[in-house]
Structure 1
Amino acid sequence: MTSLETLTHLAPPPASPTPTDWNAVETLLRMPLPADYKQLVDAYGPGSFCDFLHLSTPHRNKEAVDLTGPMPARLRRQLEKDHDNDTHSMPHRPEDLFAIGVTDNGNHLFWITTPRNQPDLWNITVNEADGHTWYTHDGSLTSFLVALLSGNEHPPVFPRDLLSRGAFFTPTPPADADTPPAPSPRGSVTNATAIREWARSQGYDVPDRGRIPAPIIQAWEQSH
């Protein structure tokens, strides 16, 4: 039984989550993503485990859990600042961390993106809300969730009563889910310039020339 199959037994997913265009997402992020994460999101869609751990997924209208928004880069810059100022000790290089979730207590969940070109080998780390304590799981995001929801692992930064109501998944209500807007007419130099400037201000890595990736255009249209 795979980790995902075990997870779906522990916390059943919703009936029909919205599919994701992973090629477009990876093009936008300019990096490959772990296969287990893509399968996890395809099975569950956006939502939270135990009404506590909220996973980041693409194109969300809630910035804290938007995989393709500015939050991962913003958190990395803050970690780099803390590292440079020796504010907190951390077991991983900030440039290797990519945010993949957040809890109701303000903990952040990260991929440790090494080796960079082998995402299926990325491990998971969680930090305490104030940044002092870290917990690292030697395995994928799905295996971390299985270990957590089965009670076999318990990060000290998480509450002891996390499983008091058992393991369950709560999908994001449709009213809060992000629905990509219909694409607007292309070809406007003014719009292209405005989109590039907006995208860079939001932390996106957008090319100076050529086609602007569709997910960036969709994000711009939704923002405006």
Structure 2
Amino acid sequence: MDELQGLAALCPPPKRGAEVGSTGPAGFAVPSSHRALIDAYGPGCFDEFLWVYAEGSARPGLDLVERTRETRRLLRDYPEPTLPALLAGDGLTTDDLVQWAVTDNADMLFWLPVGEPDDWPTLAVQAGRLRFARLPMRSTGVLLALLSGAVRLDLFPDDFPSERPEFSVNPYA
């Protein structure tokens, strides 16, 4: 069973994914595994906590390209020495990060674009950039590991994930 099948078995996708359009050239690659995730689920929220972005989301707050551009700008405007030092080990800067998800607590999940896009690891960054966790997995693998409890991040709250994680295009509607 691949990661997407495992995720769908644990947390079924909606009957119909959210519609996404095009935002124009992203200026960076998006892993095909993430596109398959979006094809199955659409952009939205896992377990009322973890929001996943998509290229061309009809909801601007969930557009992967716009969120990445905004986060890169914020990281440039509010420099913090720990994150750039961490990225330098891979020959990256904050302008290379691609944000693919965010939590309700403003923790961010980024791809570290090293190697082929479908092999990019994920960097979880706690809100305020106080703690980091590098996960050697693509977005679908990270979601499956987090929602199944196979991976626990101490920068996420103790009550995540719930016993029965669900996906919603808009859990607060």
**Residue segments in structure 2 that go unaligned for 5+ positions in a row:** 88-92
Aligned CA RMSD, in angstroms, stands at: 2.1
Structure 1 equivalent of residue 90 of structure 2: none
Q: Which structure has the greater CA radius of gyration?
A: 1
Correspondence 1:46 to 2:30: no
Alpha-carbon offset, residue 109 of structure 1: 1.1
Structure 2 equivalent of residue 79 of structure 1: 75
Name the TM-score, length of structure 1 as normaliser: 0.67
Residue 70 of structure 2 aligns with an amino acid whose one-letter code is R
Structure 1 equivalent of residue 114 of structure 2: 114
Alpha-carbon offset, residue 167 of structure 1: 1.7
Structure 1 equivalent of residue 11 of structure 2: 11
Alpha-carbon offset, residue 82 of structure 1: 4.4
Q: Aligned pairs, how many?
A: 165
**Residue segments in structure 1 that go unaligned for 5+ positions in a row:** 177-224
Change (3 A) 1:18 1:61: closer
Distance 1:12 1:4 in 2: 10
Alpha-carbon offset, residue 166 of structure 1: 2.2
Correspondence 1:153 to 2:146: no
| SS in structure 1 of the partner of residue 152 of structure 2 | coil
1:34 is matched with which residue: 31, 36, 44? 31
Residue 42 of structure 1 aligns with an amino acid whose one-letter code is D
The answer (yes or no) to whether the contact 2:20–2:54 under 8 Å persists in 1 is no
| SS in structure 2 of the partner of residue 136 of structure 1 | strand
Percent of pairs with identical residues = 30
The answer (yes or no) to whether the contact 1:82–1:88 under 8 Å persists in 2 is no
Write the deviation string for residues 113-149 of structure 1: whole angstroms up to 9, x where unpaired.
Answer: 113xx21111111111111111111011101111101
Distance 1:61 1:81 in 2: 27
The answer (yes or no) to whether the contact 1:19–1:42 under 8 Å persists in 2 is no
2:55 is matched with which residue: 34, 58, 70? 58
Name the TM-score, length of structure 2 as normaliser: 0.85
The answer (yes or no) to whether the contact 2:46–2:166 under 8 Å persists in 1 is yes
Residue 46 of structure 2 aligns with an amino acid whose one-letter code is F
1:89 is matched with which residue: 82, 86, 94? 82
The answer (yes or no) to whether the contact 1:88–1:132 under 8 Å persists in 2 is no
Correspondence 1:128 to 2:121: no
| SS in structure 1 of the partner of residue 101 of structure 2 | strand
Identify the structure with bigger relative contact order (alpha carbons < 8 Å, sequence gap 6+): 2
Distance 2:154 2:145 in 1: 14
| SS in structure 2 of the partner of residue 28 of structure 1 | coil
Residue 96 of structure 1 aligns with an amino acid whose one-letter code is D
Change (3 A) 1:20 1:75: closer
The answer (yes or no) to whether the contact 2:20–2:56 under 8 Å persists in 1 is no
Distance 1:128 1:82 in 2: 15
Change (3 A) 1:20 1:170: closer
The answer (yes or no) to whether the contact 1:101–1:110 under 8 Å persists in 2 is yes
